[in-house]
Each structure stands twice: as C-alpha cells, then as structure tokens.
Amino acid sequence: MIGLGAGGIAVGASLQTGVNRALAPVRGLGDVLPAAGGFRYYSVVGSVRERTADEYRLAVSGMVGRTRAFTIPELGALKQTQVTRDFQCVTGWRVPGVAWAGVALPDLLDAVGASPEATAVRFRSFDGVYSESLTMEQARRPDVLIATRMLGGPVTHDHGGPVRLFVAPMYGYKSLKWLGAIEVTDKVVSGYWERRGYDVDAWVGRSNGRDDEPT
Ligand SMILES: Nc1nc2c(c(=O)[nH]1)N[C@H]1C(S)=C(S)[C@@H](COP(=O)(O)O)O[C@H]1N2
Ligand SMILES: [Mo]
C-alpha cells in the first residue's frame, strides 16, 4: 500500500506487475486465451459454482427500509437501464463499446428504501471471496448497473452471471462478478484488490468522475 494516488505512473506499473503475478497462478487460462471480444475471464478463486436463474437471489440488507431478496424476474420488473461503455482492466486490456443492461443501482437503492444516513454500499460475490464497495455518491450514479445482460444476451457464468455489477466509470476490478449480496452501510470497506494495493476510487482516466456525463 505504497504511494497510491497522484503521480502514480511508476507506482501503477509496479502494481500492475503485482496484479499480473497474482492473477496468473489462480486463473492462468484468462491470461493465455483471451475470450471472444477481447475479454479475459477473471476469478480469484479456482471455480465458482454456477447459480441458475431460477435459484438466484440478490440479498439487499443493511440501512434499508426492508431487507429483500430479489429474484431475476423481480429485478426484471424494475426499471431497466442500458449503458454502452468500454470495459477497461487496470492491467491494460480493454474491450470497446460493450453493451450492458439491468437495474441502475440508484433505482435498486430507491426500491429498498436506502436510508439517507447511509454513506456507502458494499457488494459481496457468491464466489465467497471477492467484495467491493462504493461511496453512496458513486453508487447513486446512473451508470452503475446491477447487470443482468451484456453483449445482447444474459450475463454468462464466466462473466459473473446471472447477475454482476458494472461500474462504468471505473476500472474492471470494481465490476464485481457473481453478485450475491448488497449491504447499504455507513463505511467504505476496501475490496479484494484494494486490500492488495489498488485505489478504492478506481476512476478510469481521471482523478474523479464528477464531470462525467452518464449516457
Ligand atoms: N468475483 C470476482 N469479480 C471480479 C473479478 C474476480 O476475480 N472475481 N475480477 C475483476 C477484474 S480485475 C476484472 S478486469 C473483471 C473481469 O471481468 P470478466 O471476467 O467478465 O472479463 O472482473 C472483475 N470482477
Ligand atoms: Mo481487472
């Protein structure tokens, strides 16, 4: 956790070496065989048990009016939002113009009655290991999606389906795969890669994203 933030080109390069080293042994395949469209499939655990669309539930708890577990049809009944954006991994690969669809996080937060006192949102993967957090200000952006569709079809298991996060303005590591639970909370907790040296605020190409226009 050395010298993150401003002036981080040299620092970023060494961290990038770190992430490549860390990713390669657990998921060598992704590094060797780029997936169709230029994606690499990443998982920090060896294999993740597939959840069918029928059995899937998204638990939303914490500082909410009512704890809920959303089925896929229930997510589908909420307002649907589409976002098309480049997908950028911090290690360097990028997939241009990926189309995503699902529930914008602000709409989900409204649906559960997120408390105005809450200042952060935490996400957990059903892989049992990976987690991520956003500040409430970040989570309220309309280009942060609870994604159920990508590239014109359902989110496949290898891409973190049936439901994953897509944080459009940030590096790929914020876009948690196999989303299992969301907790509305009052503190930002460092996620998997952030405990290993990456910025919690992972804006692509700028120090903050407040001037970015969502599409
Ligand atoms: N649960 C989980 N989510 C994750 C990761 C992971 O290893 N496990 N890797 C992250 C990183 S570093 C990237 S770049 C993207 C990769 O998404 P993809 O595997 O669909 O290409 O997922 C992110 N979300
Ligand atoms: Mo990444």
Give the closest residue (by CA) to ligand 1 atom 12.
173
24-33 pLDDT per residue, tens: 333 433 444 5
Interval between CA 177 and ligand 1 midpoint (Å): 6
More confident site: 152 or 25:
152
Q: Tell me: pLDDT of 184 over 80.
A: yes
Interval between CA 18 and ligand 2 midpoint (Å): 12
CATH architecture of 51-196: Alpha-Beta Complex (3.90)
User: For ligand 1, what atom is nearest to the CA of residue 27?
Assistant: 7
User: For ligand 1, what atom is nearest to the CA of residue 127?
Assistant: 1
Give this prediction's pTM: 0.84
User: For ligand 1, what atom is nearest to the CA of residue 171?
Assistant: 14
List residues near ligand 1 (CB under 6 A): 39-44, 89, 125, 127, 130, 159-160, 172-173, 175-178
Q: What are phi and psi of 56, to 5 degrees?
A: -60, 135
User: For ligand 1, what atom is nearest to the CA of residue 42?
Assistant: 19
Give the closest residue (by CA) to ligand 1 atom 10.
173
38-50 pLDDT per residue, tens: 899 999 999 999 9
Percent of the chain at pLDDT exceeding 90? 77
Interval between CA 187 and ligand 2 midpoint (Å): 24
Contacts of 165 (CB under 8 A, 6+ apart): 123, 132, 144, 145, 146, 147, 174, 175, 176, 177, 179
11-20 pLDDT per residue, tens: 343 334 444 4
Interval between CA 193 and ligand 2 midpoint (Å): 9
**Per-residue model confidence (pLDDT) at position 205:** 85
Percent of the chain at pLDDT exceeding 70? 78
Give the closest residue (by CA) to ligand 1 atom 11.
173
Q: Do residues 88 and 94 touch, judged by C-beta distance below 8 A?
A: yes
**Per-residue model confidence (pLDDT) at position 76:** 98
User: Which DSSP state fits 64?
Assistant: B
Domain locations along the chain: 51-196
**Per-residue model confidence (pLDDT) at position 156:** 97
Q: Tell me: pLDDT of 70 over 50.
A: yes
Q: Count CA atoms closer than 13 A to 129's CA, side-chain side.
A: 11
84-100: average pLDDT:
96
**Per-residue model confidence (pLDDT) at position 19:** 45
Give the closest residue (by CA) to ligand 1 atom 15.
172
